[in-house]
């Protein structure tokens, strides 16, 4: 049996970035955001984990992969970045999840899952999520004001269920089925619900469709 330290050393991270961003008008993740691009926020959080690698799942926007690679190289993290293309990305979020999870190393103990359009994930939430899964939870998610947010950390026990998903519902059903095996980590930071949806309206803080 792996020790706690060994299990934490075998974590991976996935950034789902395959969507078309139609409500935004397209090109959402490579749009300007503050001093960089929108996807830079999710990448910053993903690389702040103890994950061995960060896998960016691309799809509709051909600029996402090069943008992620350029950012990682600038940060000196190019060797940790992996780009995986979801050929069936038009199906919805399940296709991105399947592609990302299926690409992970065979000995991965778990994976953080980030959404590319959530730029303000608090780094402080990452270790408590890892601690919860290391202690035996099958998954862990942050909760603000009673709403479940992101990122979600899933153990390898759920990889099979995630690669069997279809449609655009994400992993909500898988997580809801866990009961007490889903660790809910309370946070005072509303950024775990913060996403950019459209260019014409202010970004929203809401429960994501997971």
Q: What is the CATH number of the domain that holds 96?
A: 3.90.550.10
117 within some domain: yes
- Provide the token pair at 165: 């998903």
pTM (2 decimals)? 0.92
- Provide the token pair at 98: 């399947």
202 within some domain: no
Q: What is the mean pLDDT of the chain?
A: 91
Looking at residue 199, its pLDDT comes to 66
Give which of 65, 51, 173 is closest to 113, Cα–Cα. 51
176 within some domain: yes
Residue 64, classed as helix, strand or coil, is: helix
115 within some domain: yes
Structurally, how many domains does the chain consist of?
Answer: 1
Ranges of the chain whose pLDDT falls below 50: 1-6, 201, 203-209
203 within some domain: no
User: Tokens 């592609």 — which residue?
Assistant: 99
Residue 44, classed as helix, strand or coil, is: helix
How far apart, in whole angstroms, are the C-alpha atoms of residue 183 and residue 110?
A: 14
How far apart, in whole angstroms, are the C-alpha atoms of residue 16 and residue 59?
A: 9
Distance between alpha carbon 178 and the CA centroid of its chain, in Å? 19
198 within some domain: no
pLDDT (tens digit, 9 = 90+) per residue, 172-189?
Answer: 999 999 999 999 999 999
Q: What range defines the domain where residue 114 resides?
A: 4-193
30 within some domain: yes
Contact by Cβ (8 Å): 139, 158: yes
209 within some domain: no
């Amino acid at each position: 049996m792996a020790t706690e330290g060994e299990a934490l050393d075998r974590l991976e991270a996935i950034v789902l970035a395959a969507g078309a961003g139609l409500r935004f008008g397209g090109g959402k993740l490579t749009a300007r955001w503050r001093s960089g691009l929108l996807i830079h926020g999710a990448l910053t959080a993903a690389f702040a984990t103890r994950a061995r690698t960060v896998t960016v799942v691309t799809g509709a926007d051909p600029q996402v992969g090069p943008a992620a690679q350029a950012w990682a190289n600038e940060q000196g993290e190019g060797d940790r970045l992996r780009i995986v293309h979801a050929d069936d990305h038009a199906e919805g979020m399940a296709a991105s999840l399947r592609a990302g999870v299926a690409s992970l190393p065979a000995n991965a103990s778990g994976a953080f899952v980030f959404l590319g359009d959530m730029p303000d994930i608090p780094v402080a939430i990452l270790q408590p999520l890892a601690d919860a899964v290391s202690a035996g939870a099958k998954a862990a998610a942050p909760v603000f004001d009673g709403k479940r947010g992101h990122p979600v950390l899933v153990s390898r026990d759920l990889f099979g269920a995630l690669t069997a998903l279809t449609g655009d519902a994400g992993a909500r059903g898988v997580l809801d089925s866990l009961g007490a095996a889903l660790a809910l980590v309370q946070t005072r930071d509303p950024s775990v619900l913060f996403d950019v949806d459209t260019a014409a309206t202010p970004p929203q803080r809401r429960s994501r469709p997971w």
